Amino acid sequence: MATRWGICGSGNISHDFCVALRTLAEQEHQIVAVAARSLERAQKFAKTHGIPKAYGSYQELVKDPNIDVVYIGVVHTHHLPVGLLFLNAGKSVLCEKPFTMNSRELRQLISATRENNVFLMEAMWSRCFPVYSEISRLLSEQAVGEVKMVSVYFGLNLLDRIHTTQKEQGGGSLLYIGVYCVQFALMVFNGEKPESISATGVLLPSGVDESMVVVLKFSGNRIAVCSSSLACALPNTASIFGTTGTITVSSPMHCPTTLEVNGQKSEFPLPDPRLPLNFPNSTGLRYEAEEVRRCLQKGLKESIRMSLADSELVMEIMDEARRQVGVVYEQDSQ
């Protein structure tokens, strides 16, 4: 039986997610409904993607009994109230990154998923790419010896985009794109809590971080350096340095299709989209959809690939980094 998807939000990332779902077998994944803040927007989105039902409110999507899981693609400032809406109604949820604005909000979602016994996962799509699975295998086999350092970069010139630079919309390099860097480091170090967190950065006039560098020190004198920027293009790669070699994600680390191990490259191509995409390599969103289906079929309430504990630790690290740099959102005082 196919996993029946409801789509919450009709923005760019929801578009790309639906395009990615269409690269999977229809007998396994079906999009049955979409909800937006207006019926007109939902109907336009439904027509584009061939979705049978369109709702002009999220509350209507909640009431649809023919949905197995809801993909939440709304702006992250609304992830908490929208997530609670579906979780408290007994709907499983795949929620776009960043999960929430801070760890306090995330703990509310985690509490709701456990109280209602439903599935919840952060849509940290890179965790589900084949490249990341291969990295985990290589690390378990000590292909580069003992890992001593991780260096991750993600930077783009996005200063002309209001949603990335305004505090009211949850802007800032760390929350918007740096989250990928932090989660990569934690994946390499098996979700271990760092011994120390050191952050420095520069702020925009709006009060969010234009650029930030977060240094995580782990046990055994191991270090991860996570760099993010909204002002300039960075290498957008991730490197793992071991005592006998190096592993590098040489395509964009947040949507990886190329892996280099001690100078030897491997390619992991993606299927072509049937519609134009808003973000590079977005057909790779199919992997997180496959992970959700796998979990639901096994009756799991969270993913092993991207566990709720992993997501919570990422958020706690970002909370502390923001505190050190002086980035404070309205949600932090609520």
pLDDT single digits (tens) 164-186: 999 999 999 999 999 999 999 99
Task: Answer whether CATH 3.40.50.720 is correct for domain 3-125.
Answer: yes
Query: Which CATH number is 130-267+307-332 given?
Result: 3.30.360.10
Q: 69, 92 in Cβ contact below 8 A?
A: yes
Query: CA torsion sign, 50 to 53 to 58 to 64?
Result: negative
For the cut 90, the answer to whether the pLDDT of residue 250 exceeds it is no
pLDDT at 161: 92
| Residue listed under structure tokens 């760019």 | 12
pLDDT at 334: 76
Mean pLDDT calculated for residue range 259-272 = 96
Q: Tell me: the pLDDT tens digits for 114-129?
A: 999 999 999 999 999 9
What CA–CA distance (Å, rounded) separates 21 from 25?
A: 8
Strand order in the sheet with 147-155: 196-203, 209-218, 222-229, 147-155, 238-242, 246-249, 258-261, 264-267
Q: Tell me: the pLDDT tens digits for 86-125?
A: 999 999 999 999 999 999 999 999 999 999 999 999 999 9
Q: Where are the domains of the chain?
A: 3-125, 130-267+307-332
Q: Cβ-count burial of 277 within 10 angstroms (0-12 exposed, 13-18 middle, 19+ buried)? A: middle
